[in-house]
A = this chain, B = another copy of it.
Amino acid sequence: MSGSIDFYFDFSSPYGYFASTRIEALAAKHGRTVSWHPVLLGVVFKTTGGAPLPMVPLKGPYSLRDFERSARFHGIAYRRPAQFPLATQLAARAMLWVRQTQGDAKAVEFANAVYRAYFVDGADISQADTIIGVAAGLGLDGAALVEGAGSGSIKEALRADVDAAIARGVFGSPFMIADGEPFWGFDRFEQLDAFLKNGSI
């Protein structure tokens, strides 16, 4: 088997962030590449009836604890952001614009930088100023990026991507699809690893 692993994530998802720090190494180990797809869980939840974790009684407080514990367990830098969750349309659209204008490698670099800004440095990535700063750190023209991210074609591209993700059954973050096999959650990386190794589980 070969082919790219589809990696769906929301920029506001801690488990998506954890997965983002490991997905490329996991794929490379099996000679695979990764296609990064930013999605909007807020849109997905309209289909599934889901809700942001912190808002769910009992599960909310547990989740905040599990984010920190899971980060320590896996040795991933993480600090609970003051704003959580937050709107990720701008970050997602910006990533699509970077891909369109700078290519995929730069877009992935941008995604990693956005995740770090949010979950390590505690920046409010829903704000244009933050996104501009992240872009500048990668040598990108932040003003052009924010303008491009707000264009009708990019908005439509993200909308189409999210619809396509839902049509493929994506309901959470992170969500990986390899050779048609779906895996939900950073805690399914072991199964994804076994699947990529053996072609089945």
Contact = CB atoms under 8 A, between A and B. Distances in A.
Interface residues on A, range: 20 to 34
A58 B66 contact: no
A contacts with B: majority SS = helix
Interface in A129-177: 166, 169-172
Given A49-B56, A56-B49, A191 B73 contact: yes
Nearest to A56: B48
Interface string A54-75: 0011110110011001101100
A187 interface: yes
A36 to B, nearest CB: 20
Given A59-B171, A69-B201, 4 more contacts: A58-B169, A59-B172, A69-B191, A185-B187
